[in-house]
Amino acid sequence: MVNQVKSPSGEIPPAMPKAAAGYPHSRTARLFLLVAALSGFLWVSLGAIAGHEVFSGLHASFFDKAHRYQIVHTLALMLLATLPLRLPLSFCRAAGLCWLLGLCCFCGSLYVMAFLGTEAVRYLVPVGGVAFLVGWAMLFIAACVGERS
C-alpha cells in the first residue's frame, strides 16, 4: 500500500489527475514553456519601445497587430505547456508547433516590417496566420477526440 501524504490538519488531499505520458513535463511542453517565457519577455519589451511612439501610420498598424496576436498565442502556448491535459498528445503537440510557426512568421514578419520598414517578408504573414488557425483547429480536434485512455 502506498503511503499518502497528509496535510497539517490531518486530511488527505485529493489526488491530482495523472498527466498523459509524462505530459506536461515532456520535452515538447518544456520547449513550449521556454518559447512562451521568451515571447512574453519580448512582448513587454517591445510594448515599452512602442510606448515611446517610434511608429506612425502603417508601421504602427503592423506593430499593433503583431503585438496583439503575440500575447494571445504566447498565453495559449503557456497554458498548453503547463496544464495537465488528458487530450491526445499528438494533436496538442501539433497545435503548439503551429502556434510557434505562427509567432515566427506572422508576428515576426509584422515586427520586421514595422521596425525596418521593409515589406520583403510580407509573404510570411499569411503563412503565419494559417499556422495560427491550424493550431486552433488541432486543439479543437484534440478536444473532440477526447481523453486518452
Question: What digits encode the pLDDT tens for the residues 12-57?
Answer: 655 544 444 545 557 888 889 999 999 999 999 998 888 877 777 8
Q: Does the residue 3 lie in any domain?
A: no
Q: Note whether residue 118 is domain-resident.
A: yes
Question: DSSP characters for the chain?
Answer: -PPPPPPTTSPPPPPPPPPGGGTTSSHHHHHHHHHHHHHHHHHHHHHHHHTT----HHHHHHHHHHHHHHHHHHHHHHHHHHS---S-HHHHHHHHHHHHHHIIIIIHHHHHHHHH---TTTTHHHHHHHHHHHHHHHHHHHHHH----
Domain membership flag for residue 31:
yes
Reported pTM: 0.75
Number of separate domains in the chain = 1
User: Is residue 32 one of the residues assigned to a domain?
Assistant: yes
38 lies in which domain range?
23-145
pLDDT tens digits, residue range 101-112?
999 999 999 999
5 is a domain residue: no
Q: Who contacts 43 (Cβ-Cβ below 8 Å, separation ≥6)?
A: 67, 70, 71, 74
Q: Is 14 a member of any domain?
A: no
Residue 18 lies in a domain: no
Residue 107, in any domain of the structure: yes
